[in-house]
Amino acid sequence: MSDTAADPRLLRAPPKRGLRLSWADERFRAIIWQVLIVGVVAGVIWWLVGNTRHNLEVRRIATGFGFLTREAGLPIAESLVPYTPASTYARALLVGVLNTLKVAVIGVVLATVLGTLIGIARLSKNWLLSRIAATYIEVIRDLPLLLQLLFWYTLMQTLPGPRQAMHPVEGVFLSNRGLRLPWIQWEDAHSFALLGMVVGIIAAVVYGRSARAKQMQDGQPRKIWPAAVGLIVGLPLVIWAAWGAPFQGDIPALRGFNFQGGMSISPEYFALLAGLVTYTAGFIAEIVRAGIQAVPGGQWEASEALGLQRGRIMRLVVLPQALRVIIPPMTSQYLNLTKNSSLAVAIGYQDIVSIANTTLNQTGQAIEGIAIIMGVYLTISLSISLFMNWYNSRIALVER
Amino acid sequence: MSVTTETAVASAARTDAPPAILLDKVNKWYGAMHVLRDINLSVAEGERVVVCGPSGSGKSTMIRCINRLEQHQEGRIIVDGIELNDDMRNLDAIRREVGMVFQSFNLFPHLTVLENCTLAPIWVRRTPKKEAEEQAMEYLRRVKIPEQALKYPGQLSGGQQQRVAIARALCMKPKIMLFDEPTSALDPEMIKEVLDTMVMLADTGMTMICVTHEMGFAQQVADRVVFMDRGEVVESGTPSQVFNDPKTDRLKMFLSQILRGH
Amino acid sequence: MSDATHHAPAVPADTPSRRPPITVVGPVAWARASLFSSWLSTAVTLALAYLLARWIIGFVDWAFINAIWSVPVNAQGAQTQACRALQGAGACWAVITEKHRFILFGTYPYDEHWRPLVCVFLFIGLYIVSAMRRFWRKELALIWAGVLFLIGFLMWGGALGMPYVPQERWGGLVITLILSTFGIAFAFPLAVLVALGRRSRMPAIKMLCVVYVELIRGVPLISLLFMASVMFPLFLPEGMNIDKLLRAQVAIILFAAAYLAEVVRGGLQALSRGQYEAADALGLSYWQKTLFIILPQALRLVIPPLVNTFIGMFKDTSLVLIIGIFDLLTAGKTAIVEPAWQGFGIEVYVFVGIIYFIFCFAMSRYSQGLERGLNQHRVR
């Protein structure tokens, strides 16, 4: 009789096991250990909580998050949403979170770009370029970030005042009150155009997918980029034109002691961003270099032997392998940059740590304040970690 | 269904001495996969058993259950009169009496050959260090590499490393030796030296269970050959019975595949 | 005119071997390959060389040629008019000349400065000894314990004719070294336990360790330092006071242990399963197996990442500036608070930066060399 019937090893299910209450039983011993250790930890936590309750009572410190609805009375220099010192603490903390995200998101993008460029420069055949990149990486990584931030901030403070501001290009002013750039007056048309760009990007991706699917079916490659450019650039332009094509410049001009108009970047933000970006770029450069070097030379050779061209080799063979090595440590650096932005409190940029710190000083509620800080960062870290794990399992190489 | 010359329990009842190893209706699952199905096996003291079969047949799993590197879920395993269950005292006693040699040697790379051999006797059998070292040198002489005593495993060839692994297991003075494909990771020219060592060991009357593909060794040394396939014992008997007179189709197919390779 | 039946001239039997032309080997060849291999490369080389030259000349001008190295100090304090007159064209290294003792030793009594100095050298000696492979044995732990005890004794004093110096007056480089070295000394055993616990099959222990590691790694060090400075006093019973340095030290230990635990766990995972099984088969108990077989091998596997983590910790101690503890960076920042020295932050930060750089660069080079050495060993 042939054995192509069901595998006989799948026919019966395993039995359940009982537990013997004896020290010699391995599982019993494990349970006792766990009960002991959890008990000790719980006991210590109970003692700490007891002390804390007592101390809070004695010092007449309030507990709970009721303070969030009270008026903050806290001046905040820059905010992405409307805020006045009459707003609540909850709103102040929200401004803090947004300020942190403002530095983290832009920092991550700039650090990635700079870091990738430096990493590639490090691998260049030009000796001078590669040595300069290596020196940059080594120096940045051997100095504390706080020192670098203080350095950038001091640099900003030694810039001349607004009246003698540096003026490299028309409309751009650099002084010790920050950087001023020309901007446009933002109208509804611009908002819609921005929305149109987002829609255009999604549409371009969808179009790219369907073009690739069609290529798989009939073997004919299709040019994606004309349609993509049309969607990503053309669509917003069309929308903007349809709403009247407004374009009113907002040029900064010196009025009295400072500039008015245009887009302003505070010296604190600039110093924080510059310090974080240059620091993290040093680490990203090493990651990119390791990733590119991790792809064996044989991959290039085999691809060339098959007749593939350089662009395709990069896209289909080298980059996918390099990215697998690059992405986990890269994500960890993004997390580091976000956590490092907490150093803003040392140079006066009001991120969540700075505002929560002031809050807890004003209300005396240290535990709630620190809990808020930790909660915000934990949320960001765990989301990024979850995303990373999901992405990693998706692209993991299948092995035995 | 298993075709044996006689059932395991009947065979144990026939002789007066209790079996060194008794597997009675042993079953094991990996998740939902039933990898050992109603294994009955009895190994008498001093008996040399070779277990063979295609990969995935459960032969390695079976001998790893004997010293609890894997856990069985149903049935009984009795080693040297001690039952193998959740009782850790039993497990400690059994591991002292059962030595194991692995396919990938698993020598401790940060210790010298001599230290590899004396570590367990000192810490488990509480042997004084001097005595343990003398004993270790004695066994290293028996496996014919006493001059390597102070070298590190990384400096030895594969065949030498496996012989050290055998000496290390012997230093615990076990009553039973388990071999899990001891020559499968060796280059062909080194297989002979390890097999010779195992033959020498068999000649001393050691109870051995050996999972191997080396049919020549089986013919020379084994008292009994057990053929496993898909988690169960299919046939067992003397080497000449199993190799020259296979009764089941599955064993016939296995033999034809093995012999084709020679 | 060349002849159609031109023959190649006969080559003499032993042509003396000639040196290859200078366009193939030697400095000229190297320059051609590395600096001028293509038009783009040549352009880049020239541009970089020009920028580099300008920057170096500017830096030398600022740091050496136009710099002022000392200023007169009279009864009213330092007279820094000469420095201010420079208006940034030259460095005012006078701030270092005047303030270097303060930056290095904080407010430690002037006459006793030899004590923290000796401690600094003890720390450096400890690092060097730990770096040498000869000493990678169990006795190293004893050496660490002994040296750290000696350092504590020297800093506090109170015996052998050395006056007692309370902790509030310690400051500068010594604090940085104390925070990072004591930090790693205590964090390391804790990290090993947490890493083992994370690989345990007992679910409660595993979960405790996972929660600890993920919690600490998800929050910035600053929040832990705030916790130490503001919340720890609330956790303790009334009347029990722990001074700020110790609290910050505990926070740094907890922080470092979480990161080190991940490094150790990587080593435990990298070790092949066969080692665990062989130890089990020989009958070794869990702790015998872990102490004699698993840890010696796993820890050796992860020494380079361990050193890198230490470098990170060394730099991270600078964050205690934010909770008001006087480490090297804080001392530097405080040195320019005085009106006379205000505005010379760049010079101070360069000085402090050089000190950090020396330590971190040495450790980084060591770690890279180690990695190369260990990999060579393994590739057989």
The half-sphere exposure of C342 on its side-chain side, counting CA atoms within 13 A, is 5
User: How many beta-carbon contacts under 8 Å exist across A and B?
Assistant: 46
Could you tell me which chains touch chain C, where touching means 3 or more CB pairs under 8 A?
Answer: A, B
Q: Which residue of A has its CA nearest to B31?
A: A14
Nearest Cα of chain C lies from the Cα of B125 at a distance, in angstroms, of 9
CA C326 to chain centre: 18
Judged by CB atoms closer than 8 Å, whether chains meet at B34 and A26 is answered as no
Tell me the mean pLDDT in the region A265-287: 94
Contact B86 A27 (CB under 8 A): yes
* Of C218, C238, C349, Cβ closest to residue A54: C238
Per residue in A306-352, pLDDT (tens digit) is 777 777 777 777 877 888 888 888 888 999 999 999 999 999 899 99
Which of B34, B84, B230 to mutate to test binding with chain A, by most A CBs within 10 Å of its CB?
A: B34
Confidence of residue B164 (pLDDT cuts 50, 70, 90): very high
DSSP per residue over chain B, as a string? --EESS-HHHHHHHSSSPPSEEEEEEEEEETTEEEEEEEEEEE-TT-EEEEE-STTSSHHHHHHHHTTSS--SEEEEEETTEE-SSBHHHHHHHHHHEEEE-TT----TTS-HHHHHHHHHHHTS---HHHHHHHHHHHHHHTT-GGGTTS-GGGS-HHHHHHHHHHHHHTT--SEEEEESTTTTS-HHHHHHHHHHHHHHHHTT-EEEEE---HHHHHHH-SEEEEEETTEEEEEE-HHHHHHS--SHHHHHHHHHHHHH-
Per-residue pLDDT, A397? 64
C20: part of which helix (H) or strand (E)?
none
Mean pLDDT on B200-218: 91
> Which pLDDT belongs to residue B199?
93
> In angstroms, what CA-CA distances link B61 with B39, B69, B91, B230?
11, 9, 17, 11
Distance CA C219, CA A122 (A): 32
CB neighbours (10 Å) of residue A389? 12
pLDDT confidence of B133, banded at 50, 70, 90? very high
Contact between B202 and B179 under an 8 Å Cβ cutoff? The reply is no
Chain B residues in contact with chain A using a Cβ-Cβ cutoff of 8 Å: 27, 29, 32-35, 37, 73-74, 86-91, 230-231
Q: Which residues of C touch A378 (CB under 8 A)?
A: 215, 218-219
For chain A, say whether C345 makes contact (Cβ under 8 Å): yes
Stretch among A214-218, B40-44, C216-220 having the lowest mean pLDDT: A214-218
- Whether A2 shows a pLDDT value over 60: the answer reads no
Q: Do A14 and B73 touch (CB under 8 A)?
A: yes
pLDDT for the residue numbered C18: 59
Residue A328 is predicted with a pLDDT of 84
- Residue whose token pair is 């940060």: B110
**Residue B70 clears pLDDT 80, i.e. is over it:** yes
Please judge whether A126 and C41 are an interchain contact, meaning their C-beta atoms are less than 8 angstroms apart: yes
Q: Could you tell me which residues come within 8 angstroms of residue A97 by beta carbon, excluding any fewer than 6 positions away?
A: A352, A376
Q: Flag whether residue B120 sits within 8 Å of chain C, measured between CB atoms.
A: yes
pLDDT at A183 > cutoff 90 = no
pTM: 0.82
Q: Among residues 271-300 of chain C, which lie with CB inside 8 Å of chain A?
A: none
How large a percentage of chain A has pLDDT more than 90?
30
Instruction: Please tell me which of the candidates C281, C292, C293 has its beta carbon nearest to residue B69.
Output: C281
pLDDT in tens, A33-46: 899 999 999 999 99
pLDDT tens digit sequence for A109-149: 999 999 999 998 898 888 889 999 999 999 999 999 999 99
Question: Chain A contact for C357, CB < 8 A?
Answer: yes
Q: Is B137 a residue whose pLDDT tops 70?
A: yes
Q: How confident is the model at residue A30 (pLDDT cuts 50, 70, 90)?
A: confident
Mean pLDDT of chain B: 88
A128 contacts in chain C (CB < 8 Å): 34-35, 44-45, 48-49, 52
Taking residues B178-190, report their average pLDDT: 92
Phi, psi of C245 (to 5 degrees): -65, -45
List the 223-282 stretch of C: residues with Cβ below 8 A of A: 223, 226-227, 230-231, 233-238
Judged by CB atoms closer than 8 Å, whether chains meet at B109 and C296 is answered as no
Q: Measured between CB atoms, does B79 come within 8 Å of chain C? A: no
Q: Which amino acid is at A339?
A: K
Q: Which residue of C has its CA nearest to B98?
A: C281
pLDDT computed for residue C92 by the predictor: 84
Q: Hey, is the C-beta of C319 within 8 angstroms of any chain A C-beta? A: yes
A25 forms bridges with which residues in the sheet?
A: B87
Mean pLDDT calculated for residue range A239-260: 79
Greater confidence (A252 vs C278) lies with C278
* Most confident residue range from A69-78, A291-300, A390-399, C96-105: C96-105
pLDDT, greater one: B256 or A395 = B256
Q: In this predicted structure, what is the pLDDT of residue B158?
A: 93
Mean pLDDT for B47-57 is 92
Q: What is the pLDDT of residue C3?
A: 46
Give the mean model confidence (pLDDT) for residues A167-174.
79
CB contact under 8 A, B34 and A20: no
pLDDT per residue as tens, chain C (380 positions): 444 444 445 544 455 555 566 556 677 777 777 777 778 888 888 999 999 999 999 999 888 888 888 877 777 777 777 778 777 778 888 888 888 889 999 888 888 888 999 999 999 999 998 888 777 777 888 899 999 999 988 888 888 888 888 888 888 999 999 999 999 999 999 999 999 999 988 899 999 999 999 999 999 999 999 999 888 888 888 778 888 899 999 999 999 999 999 999 989 988 888 999 999 999 999 999 999 999 988 988 888 888 889 999 999 999 999 998 999 999 999 988 888 888 788 889 999 999 999 999 999 999 888 888 776 554 43
- A300 min Cα distance to partner chain C (Å): 22
pLDDT computed for residue B196 by the predictor: 93
Residue A354 CA to residue A103 CA, distance in Å, equals 14
Confidence (pLDDT) at B7: 44
Which range has the worst mean pLDDT, A195-199, A249-253, B29-33? A249-253
Contact A13 B32 (CB under 8 A): yes
Report the residue from B109, B119, B169 with minimal CB separation from C297: B109
Residue of C277, C282, C295, C379 best to disrupt the B interface, most CBs of B under 10 A = C282
